Structure formats: C-alpha cells, structure tokens
Chain A
C-alpha cells in the first residue's frame, strides 16, 4: 500500500488525513515545520524559490524519512510559480535519489478529468462514487469546523483576561474536532469548541484594535511560516481578521466564483485590473474592503521574492494614502526572526492606537 504525504498548511492536515485514510490509504503527516525542516529545505531548494517552496522541500524530505512514497499536492495554471512547484519538487527529489510518485490536483473547473483520474488513483479502498462524495462532504464539514474555530479564537484572544487561556482552549478544541469522525460528531465537537472559546473570561472594556491580514496563502495559513503572527497580535490586544481561509479559497477555485471573490476583484479594479497570479489582486481588493469597514490597519504577509505580492506591495502605499489606512508589509524568509517581527508589530500597534485616539478627538497621547 502506498504511503501518502501532503503539504502541511495550518490545521488543515487533520481533514486531509481523515479523507485520505477514508479512501484506504496509509497517511504520513509531515511534522510541523521546524528549524530542521527549514535547514533541509534551504539546502536543496533553489536560492530564490519562495519560502513556501523551501518549507515544502523540507517537509517532503522529512516525510520521506518517515517512509512516505507518494506526495499528494496541488497544481495551478500560473502565472504564480506555485503551479510548477510539484514538477520542480519531483525533479529535485529525483535528483536526490528518492523515487517519489506525485499526485497533482489541478483546478477541477479547468481539468475535470485530471481530478477524476487522481481521485481514482487514490481510491485504494474502492469506495463507490456515492461514498467518495459523502466522504468529501464530511471532510469539507471538518475543514469548516476547523476554520470557524480558528476565526473565533482570533476574536476572543485580544479580549481574554488571563493571557494564554484562548490558545490553550483552542488547542483543546482542535483535538476534539480531530477526534470526531461522523458528521454529527464533527458538528457536536465544533459546537463544544466554539462554546468553550466563548466562555473564556473576557474583558468587555478592553480597547480592541482591528487589523486585517492579507497576502500569500501559504504564509497566511501556516503559523510556523509566519511566526504565529495572529497569536502575537492577539496578545497585543489586536483582533485579527484574515482575508483567507482554506474553505473560502477552495470555494473560489473549484467550481464557480463566489460573490465574495467578485467583490474583491471589483474593489481592486481601479488599482490592479489584471490577475497577476497568486493573491496579488486579492491583497489589494481586501485592503480596500477592510478600509471601508473601518479597520485600524492592515498587515500584508508575503514570502521573499513572491512576484504577485511585490506587484501588490508596489501599489499598496497608494491605496494606503487614498483610504487612510496604515499598511505594514512583512516579507518572510528563513532569516526572519521572531523578536524583530514582534518589535515591528508593537510599533505598528502603537501607531494605530495613537491614530485612533487622535481621530476620536482625545488628542495626541504623550509619553
């Protein structure tokens, strides 16, 4: 039986593990990206491949050590580089002497046959079509449950009275959802997790800043790559609204475009009418939408040398001026240090707080 592995992105691995095991595969979940993962990745990746590529190279190598022989990953149609990464990873791993099979999922809207072929290739338990659909639906529900829990944790964390409570309860909630198997259990676990998060002791009078996070999907979704920026912001008393969750992205990219997707596109139109690949246009569109919803600031996260985000970053200062919203950009790579990032975030938080007080007519904060 082939041993499958797949890229790890945030907490979504819990869902993919369940789905692939349901189809009768042995699954090897790559460990959370660590210093070692990065060292491996940096050693064998091209120097200017973007950060996600290096993390994935490292993760794949670690998973191969653990016995994996098949990699399930996503493709793409450009112009972002990520669409070709499966091909290059395959080349690099082959060059290192690992004979790995790649199962690459292209966007099903454009390549329906590729999708069907891949599903059959992975279906070792010979589950019926009806069964496959039911299993995908259940996995989808689990993914939603994970995303909903994470969303709520972003809202609760800045308001918590005892620091660290939210993170602890959030981890517990994830475990509950992870253990749930049937749809009913998943819903039950989700409700319990959300309830537990809501009952975290909160300070209703806390002064909360609201920040939107935009940028490239991998560094947004994988906390190990963005140095847990959301947790960090939450501890600074900042409520985070991330523009992208895996459920939303999948919905936008599998069958039809959603209205949310269209709104973002329309918002970005005056600044960037062209799809530049990746999430360049989304970063601009979401910044504008958040500005209209009176957010206190925006943070853009991008891997170093990410082409679409460089385009977006060149245009964002203009958006920032036009809509009077501060934007802070982090280009992340293997050299990014947590202390440096925290310092910049603290400064950014101070700046936003002052701006807010000034606008509320409380005058400038001195000292």
Chain B
C-alpha cells in the first residue's frame, strides 16, 4: 500500500496544492486532503489553537485535526521565502513547530524548509531531499518536480482566467470534464484583495466570491493579474517593500488596479487580528484616498462571522456602487 501524506486544505493549499499533489503522485505517494472547511473543522481548530491566533491559523489547526488519524505523514513545509525577496508571515514560519508542540497524537511532520534566499537551486534541492526521504532517486524526483512545476503553471493560468482554486483544482484533476465555464463578464467589476487562504475558503469568507457573483459582480483578485504587471509596480512609492509575500502582492495589486481605474469597487478581506493586514489595510486605505472615484470597503472575518451580516453589507455596497454608476451615466 502506498504511503499516505496528508495536506491540510488551508493556508498555502490554495497556492501550492496542485504542485505538491503532482509531485507526490509522481513519486508514488498518495495524497490525502482534509477537504472543504466545515463548521466541525472550525470548531476543532478554535478548541486547539491559541485564542489570540488569527482565524486562518485556527482553521489550519482544525484541518490538521481532521486528517491526522488518516495519514502516515503530515506535509507542513516551512515555507520561508520563495522569490528571494519577501518572506511569509511569521506564523507560517513557525507553523510546523506550532502544530508539533501544541497538538498531541499527530503523525510525523514533514517540515522541509523552503528558502530561496540561500541560493537559486535551494528549492530544487529541497524537493530532491523530500524525494530522497521517500526513497526516490534524484533523477525521478527531479523529473517529478519539473512535471509538478508544469501543473502549477497550468493552475496559475486557470486562476488568471478567473476560476476559483476549487474549480481550477477539479479542472486539473479531470481535464476532460470541462463543465465549469469561466465566469462571464458583467457590468460591475470589483477587486477583492486579501490572502488566497481567506478569499477562496468559501466557509470562512462566508462565500464572498459566490455572493458577489450572484449579485452580478465579476471579481478580480490578485491572482487574476499577470505577475509581470504586479512586478512593474516597483515599490508602490514606499521607502520599503512589505516584508510578507501575500501582503506585498495584495498591495501591488491594489496600486495597479487603482491606477488602471477600470474597476468599480475594491473590497479588502481581512481576518480579525491579522498582523500584516494592520499595515496593508492602512496602506490600501491611504492609497484609496487618492482615488476617490473608486469606493473601498474593508470586510473583517473571524470565527463568529455570520452569513446574514456579510450579505447585508455586500448588498448595500453593491447597491451604492450601482447607483453611483447610474448617476454618473445620467450626468454624462
């Protein structure tokens, strides 16, 4: 029987799961995920994690609790830096240690360290070592990694077309079944900024994207923008870049979209108590003040967030933007 590796469906899952899955499958390891976030998973996470942690971390704890008894190993890499410049949130850096030292009865954790600041080839080396720990030769591990990179590229291309990660992953898994159409263009375009693990987790974001689609709004996220255009934003007129990868991307996306001016509204989804967001949110807010024609709203989520409250706020925001647009049309 194949070795089973568990990947909790939270945090970096939304960004790198296709790569990890392809890599593990290629080297003959079975991958098990914890599936969608449910009330049960959230409750487990809230019970196990520290009260002061942010809700995505609590959910991660819940996902780990969900799959810990079904797998031989847990794959919780210590992802430090993947682009040579920005690191991930300190909670990501200490994630394997937090899990290991605060949960009991958990299977061995594979906590390979991914840090490209240590040299260009260090990432490949990490995957080779990972392969070696499962008894796979260097050549086949390298091949598996290359194939996995291709899968990741296709996944990112799908995200850029406007698919959500859940849709993109299911498209990748059974490529013939293309029942899902790319979201159609509508007359309102909103940018939803925030971290992939908050926006795309339909449970914790209280189905934000689904609700917006239902209200007839097409959604842009940082993932739908070409990374090259984001890199062109330089440093957003700031003396220092934001230290954290996701925050850096979100801020650049905000600057890009505000400057481009082809969107009707900007939503920033942030988790209660998120450290990097305290800076990011203020910086986006300061930027939005320079572009008064584009409305900006911050949505805060935590484990108590209710469906109705979120729906009301979104409807009100959409109505406001619609009316404003109509008024503009009448005037011109």
Contact = CB atoms under 8 A, between A and B. Distances in A.
- On whether the two chains bind one another, the answer is yes
Interface of A: 46-50, 53, 75, 77-81, 83-84, 87-88, 91-92, 95, 104, 271-278, 280, 304-308, 310-311, 313-315, 317-319, 331
Contact of B50 (A50, A280, A314): A314
A87 B241 CA distance: 10
Given A87-B238, A88-B283, A91-B282, A81 B275 contact: yes
B50 A313 contact: yes
Contacts of B98: 311, 314-315
Contact of B94 (A77, A272, A317, A319): A272
Contacts of A311: 90-91, 93-94, 97-98
14 contacts: A50-B275, A50-B278, A79-B88, A79-B89, A81-B275, A81-B276, A84-B279, A87-B239, A274-B93, A276-B90, A307-B275, A311-B98, A313-B52, A315-B102
Contacts of A78: 87, 243-244
Main secondary structure of the interface of B (DSSP, over half): mixed
Contacts of B22: none
Contacts of A83: 240, 243
Contacts of A50: 275, 278
Contacts of B113: 274
A78 B78 CA distance: 17
Interface residues of B, number: 37
Interface in B276-304: 276-279, 281-283, 286, 289
Most buried by B among A104, A278, A318: A318
Nearest to A313: B50
A306 B102 CA distance: 19
Contact of B275 (A88, A273, A306): A306
Contacts, number: 121
Contact of B278 (A46, A313, A315, A319): A46
B50 A79 contact: no
Interface string B263-284: 0000000001111111101110
Contacts of A278: 90
Interface string B148-189: 000000000000000000000000000000000000000000
Nearest to B270: A48
Given A46-B279, A313-B52, 19 more contacts: A46-B282, A48-B272, A49-B279, A79-B90, A91-B282, A91-B286, A92-B286, A95-B289, A104-B239, A271-B101, A274-B113, A307-B89, A307-B91, A311-B98, A314-B49, A314-B50, A315-B97, A315-B101, A315-B102
Contact of A92 (B49, B101, B275, B282): B282
